[in-house]
Chain A
Amino acid sequence: MRVAIAEDSVLLREGLTRILASAGLEVAAAYDNADDLLRYVRSFPPQVAILDIRLPPTHNDEGMRAALRIREQHPDVGVLVLSQYLELGLAMQLLSESAEGVGYLLKDRISDVDDFVGAVRRVAGGGSAVDPKIVSTLLKRRRGDDPLAVLTPREREALELMATGASNQGIADALTITLRAAEKYVSGIFTKLGIPSTRSESRRVLAVLLYLRA
């Protein structure tokens, strides 16, 4: 699996390269700016591109713009955006079309090497990775009458995992339950909350996020 990186901090660029390589992923290109990455993606589309959201020259929105451009022009290339801060608005922008092959993670997540590599693989495979912090913020959100009150604590955990982009297997692993039990939880949640059920695991991420944000 080929990975391309754009990260202007040398420390992190090398760290990323190291952990991805040690996990058996091929870091085909690592740049410190968005333009080089875009050029590379145009010529040799990788399975996934990992971008820092703040890139030179202005460190304002170059990374974000490059990510949206790859999403638009190369739908087959997974895009994983890394950031020091989490912004719900940016997450929704990234996911606005679909949650397929897209991820938005806090930079800190890199240090949970296994989880991170898992997220990279998921995004590369067309899945999604939404930072748990975004999801927990949405779950913590105050509402007049909390529609999530109908869920059991276990269902809530399953919902949280689902929103981060976890597959049914991932939910099962995280909650140490069987795949069948996880599937039951998922369909139970959809029924209870009245979310139109969808077979695609990444499509349901967007549905859940939109539901939580509404």
Chain B
Amino acid sequence: MVAPAIARARGPGPWALWAAVVLGLGTLLASIALAMAGDELVRPGLQALLFNWITIPYLISGTLAWWRRPESRLGPLMIAAAFVMALTALQWSSLPALHSLGNLLDMVPSAMFLHVFLAYPTGQLATRPRQVVVIAGYVNVAVLQLAKILLGSNPDSLLAITAQPAVASRIEQFQLIAMSALLLIGTALLLVRRPSPSRAQRRPVTLLVDTFGLALVMLALLYVAGLRGWPQIETVRHITFAALGLAPAAFLLGLLDARLARTDVGTLLMELRAHPTSDLREPLARALHDPSLTLAYWLPQYGTWADPDGRAVTLRGADAGRATRVIHRDHEPIIALEFDRSLEDERELLDAVAAAAGIALENNRLQVELRARLQELQGSRARVVDAEQKERQRLERNLHDGAQQRLVALALELGLLANSSTDSSETAARLLQAKREVAVSLDELRDVARGIHPAVLTGHGLAVALESLAVQAGVPVELDVAIDGRLPERVEVAAYYVVSESLTNIGKHAEATTASVRVTRSADAIVVAVVDNGIGGADTERGTGLRGLADRVEAVGGQLRIWSPAGHGTRLEAEFPCE
């Protein structure tokens, strides 16, 4: 077995998953306890609920993503976001150290959410603008946050080393404006990537992007509301939290859709098996839920990729929202699937569809190879038959021009001698005897030579050659050769042997009283039909005669059919392709 081309990243151990779950439950309980115990919050119950509405789904989604897609950094990133979010609950604590820590981390989740949304689905920030936005976000929530706290924006913080509220307030204003801007830029970047409605309508993905965008906009709105001191800030906060919590739900929906889609792979395989040569793209596109799928075939002889129409194409990399997957066989690329980039997220589906495509292609390739081999075999069989035919003709020619002529000349000489030797009747008698012996030899030689190759066929064609066969048959034969002119020699020879063998068989086995031989020509075939009124029951499988005949016919691309019901005669039909 060949090792898989892409080594799969090792997934988290069970301990990691369980730790995430336990810690998640811990933060749930701790945050509720903190919210209820503290006196900072307006409606502690609702706050705690909303808080966990965000942390718990991120934790669950992150854990699942980490488990299902260990190669993606998205899972750990989501888990980290959940825990940092959980840590901000420490602000509600009355213990100064914990409160200070929570307060320091207050803004970090927004940067992490930005990070998560922009890193979806691979966990990596694919483009430079995204990287800049996310780094700027982290700088904002870390540096500006620390600066404003150090300057005493929060008097309860242990980190407040000086009290410069005016400066701290300026910093906070700037921080919130900058963060809002970054969030809105992030939204814009997300929407740019959103699949256009005209193309692949990958529903879960569109939903996800919409949810991410809504969450980021709401977060930006929340900061603006805080900055401007809007009275509806609590409502905005609730909506923001609700939107933030929706994102992992949509993410889960996407995961579920991918799992559902994988069941389509079974259908795909069956479809490919039922129609092995039909267009591969349609079923693959259906299975991938991506109508925008395109295929490119690798042409090793040209060293290039080509679309199904044979036009050379270049594989686009991971740009323009597209991604490619190359299927290899024996370390040689055979086909590339180019699909909507969002599919990268559905790795199992891709793997399964790619495997199915690989099997289908392999199947196609094997069939093509089989056909090629068959053609080659037929070609070599025809060549063997032709070569044998040539050799037979050569042998017959040699006998005709050599031994037969010499024997005739010898017989002639003996005849002349017998005629002239009037002196001794005994000598004359012996000469005549010798001449008769030569005549017998000539007869035998003639039969041998004729068996090797009926020269009349080469010289005068099928119609003339069949006359002798018909008249010499063991039963009365009605002969009807309805063809004008000559046929390809190999067809003439094969047809001749069909008639010859059939008439011999009829004479030996059929117990027929009459037979007919008909040679007819259709648009593209010559049909030789030999029919008798004998006992029937002839069988191609029994005995080698008919099988050998079938081989001979098939070797020149023809087909031999036999109807031989017991008691109802035999009809043998050889059809030869012939333009």
A residues engaging B (CB < 8 A)? 9, 11-12, 15, 18-19, 22, 53-54, 59-61, 64, 84-90, 92-93, 107-108, 110-114, 137-138, 141-144, 213
Is A113 in contact with B419, judged by CB distance below 8 angstroms?
Answer: yes
**Among B329-337, B344-352, B468-476, B564-572, which stretch is in contact with chain A?**
B468-476
A-B CB proximity, top 3 nearest: A89-B464, A89-B467, A111-B411
Q: CB-nearest residue of chain A relative to B474?
A: A142
B434-489 contacts to A, CB under 8 A, are: 435, 438-439, 442, 446, 449-450, 455-456, 458-460, 463-468, 471-476
B359 at the interface (CB under 8 A from A): no
Which residue of A15, A85, A142 is within 8 Å of B476 (Cβ)?
A142
Once A9-B401, A85-B455, A87-B456 are accepted as A-B contacts, the answer to whether A110 and B408 lie under 8 Å apart by CB is yes
B404-451 contacts to A, CB under 8 A, are: 404-406, 408-409, 411-416, 419, 435, 438-439, 442, 446, 449-450
State the CA gap A107–B412 with chains docked (Å).
10
Is B439 in contact with A85, judged by CB distance below 8 angstroms?
Answer: no
Is B439 in contact with A93, judged by CB distance below 8 angstroms?
Answer: no
Is B463 in contact with A110, judged by CB distance below 8 angstroms?
Answer: no
Residues in A with CB closer than 8 Å to B468 are 86-89, 137
Is B411 in contact with A108, judged by CB distance below 8 angstroms?
Answer: yes
B514 at the interface (CB under 8 A from A): yes
Q: CB-nearest residue of chain B relative to A144?
A: B476
Is A85 in contact with B460, judged by CB distance below 8 angstroms?
Answer: no
Is A11 in contact with B405, judged by CB distance below 8 angstroms?
Answer: yes
Is B460 in contact with A87, judged by CB distance below 8 angstroms?
Answer: yes
Residues in B with CB closer than 8 Å to A141 are 471-472, 476
Is B442 in contact with A108, judged by CB distance below 8 angstroms?
Answer: yes
Which residue of B397, B438, B459, B471 is within 8 Å of A64 (Cβ)?
B459
Is B463 in contact with A89, judged by CB distance below 8 angstroms?
Answer: yes
**In the complex, given contacts A59-B401, A87-B464, what are 10 additional A-B residue pairs having Cβ atoms less than 8 angstroms apart?**
A11-B409, A60-B458, A84-B400, A84-B408, A85-B446, A89-B464, A111-B411, A112-B415, A141-B472, A144-B476
- Closest chain-B Cβ to A163's Cβ sits at a distance in Å of 13
Is B476 in contact with A213, judged by CB distance below 8 angstroms?
Answer: no
Encoded as 1 (CB less than 8 Å from any A CB) or 0, chain B from 387 to 411 comes to 0000000000100110011101101
Is B415 in contact with A113, judged by CB distance below 8 angstroms?
Answer: yes
Interface CB pairs A-B, < 8 A, 7: A15-B416, A54-B455, A111-B414, A111-B415, A111-B438, A137-B471, A142-B473
Is B435 in contact with A111, judged by CB distance below 8 angstroms?
Answer: yes
Q: CB-nearest residue of chain B relative to A19?
A: B416
Residues in A with CB closer than 8 Å to B404 are 84, 107
Is A11 in contact with B406, judged by CB distance below 8 angstroms?
Answer: yes
Once A12-B405, A142-B473 are accepted as A-B contacts, the answer to whether A87 and B467 lie under 8 Å apart by CB is yes
Q: CB-nearest residue of chain A relative to B454?
A: A85
- Closest chain-A Cβ to B233's Cβ sits at a distance in Å of 109
- Kindly name the residue among A19, A53, A112, A144 whose own CB sees the greatest number of chain B CB atoms within 10 A: A112
B277 at the interface (CB under 8 A from A): no
Residues in B with CB closer than 8 Å to A64 are 459-460
Which residue of B413, B419, B471 is within 8 Å of A88 (Cβ)?
B471
Is A9 in contact with B409, judged by CB distance below 8 angstroms?
Answer: yes
State the CA gap A60–B406 with chains docked (Å).
20
B304 at the interface (CB under 8 A from A): no
- Kindly name the residue among A22, A108, A112 whose own CB sees the greatest number of chain B CB atoms within 10 A: A108
State the CA gap A75–B440 with chains docked (Å).
36
State the CA gap A108–B414 with chains docked (Å).
12
State the CA gap A15–B465 with chains docked (Å).
30
Residues in A with CB closer than 8 Å to B474 are 142
State the CA gap A144–B463 with chains docked (Å).
23
Residues in B with CB closer than 8 Å to A113 are 412, 415-416, 419
Residues in B with CB closer than 8 Å to A144 are 476, 513-514
- Closest chain-B Cβ to A130's Cβ sits at a distance in Å of 14
- Closest chain-A Cβ to B491's Cβ sits at a distance in Å of 17
- Closest chain-A Cβ to B543's Cβ sits at a distance in Å of 24
Q: CB-nearest residue of chain B relative to A110?
A: B412
Q: CB-nearest residue of chain B relative to A7?
A: B405
State the CA gap A8–B413 with chains docked (Å).
18
Residues in B with CB closer than 8 Å to A22 are 416
- Kindly name the residue among B463, B468, B472, B475 whose own CB sees the greatest number of chain A CB atoms within 10 A: B468
Residues in B with CB closer than 8 Å to A84 are 400, 404, 408, 446, 449, 455
Is A89 in contact with B416, judged by CB distance below 8 angstroms?
Answer: no
Residues in A with CB closer than 8 Å to B475 are 142
Is B409 in contact with A15, judged by CB distance below 8 angstroms?
Answer: yes
Is B408 in contact with A12, judged by CB distance below 8 angstroms?
Answer: yes
- Closest chain-B Cβ to A52's Cβ sits at a distance in Å of 10
Residues in B with CB closer than 8 Å to A89 are 456, 460, 463-468
- Kindly name the residue among B397, B442, B471 whose own CB sees the greatest number of chain A CB atoms within 10 A: B471
Q: CB-nearest residue of chain A relative to B401?
A: A9
State the CA gap A175–B2 with chains docked (Å).
93
Q: CB-nearest residue of chain B relative to A15?
A: B412
Residues in B with CB closer than 8 Å to A15 are 409, 412-413, 416
- Closest chain-A Cβ to B510's Cβ sits at a distance in Å of 13
Which residue of B405, B411, B460, B465 is within 8 Å of A9 (Cβ)?
B405
Is A107 in contact with B408, judged by CB distance below 8 angstroms?
Answer: yes
- Closest chain-A Cβ to B276's Cβ sits at a distance in Å of 49
Residues in B with CB closer than 8 Å to A112 are 415
State the CA gap A112–B22 with chains docked (Å).
121
State the CA gap A175–B408 with chains docked (Å).
28
State the CA gap A15–B400 with chains docked (Å).
17
Residues in A with CB closer than 8 Å to B467 are 87-89, 92
- Closest chain-A Cβ to B552's Cβ sits at a distance in Å of 22
State the CA gap A87–B458 with chains docked (Å).
13
Q: CB-nearest residue of chain B relative to A143?
A: B476
Is B464 in contact with A93, judged by CB distance below 8 angstroms?
Answer: yes
Residues in B with CB closer than 8 Å to A18 are 416
Residues in A with CB closer than 8 Å to B439 are 108, 111
State the CA gap A114–B419 with chains docked (Å).
9
Residues in A with CB closer than 8 Å to B405 are 9, 11-12
State the CA gap A86–B467 with chains docked (Å).
11
Which residue of B401, B449, B460, B463 is within 8 Å of A61 (Cβ)?
B460
- Kindly name the residue among B397, B414, B415, B446 whose own CB sees the greatest number of chain A CB atoms within 10 A: B415
Q: CB-nearest residue of chain A relative to B466?
A: A89
State the CA gap A64–B404 with chains docked (Å).
19
Q: CB-nearest residue of chain B relative to A145?
A: B476
State the CA gap A12–B455 with chains docked (Å).
20
Once A54-B400, A107-B408, A142-B474 are accepted as A-B contacts, the answer to whether A90 and B415 lie under 8 Å apart by CB is no
- Closest chain-B Cβ to A143's Cβ sits at a distance in Å of 5
Residues in A with CB closer than 8 Å to B408 are 11-12, 84, 107-108, 110-111
- Closest chain-A Cβ to B546's Cβ sits at a distance in Å of 23
- Closest chain-A Cβ to B264's Cβ sits at a distance in Å of 67
Encoded as 1 (CB less than 8 Å from any A CB) or 0, chain B from 50 to 92 comes to 0000000000000000000000000000000000000000000
- Closest chain-B Cβ to A116's Cβ sits at a distance in Å of 9
Q: CB-nearest residue of chain A relative to B450?
A: A85
Residues in A with CB closer than 8 Å to B397 are 59
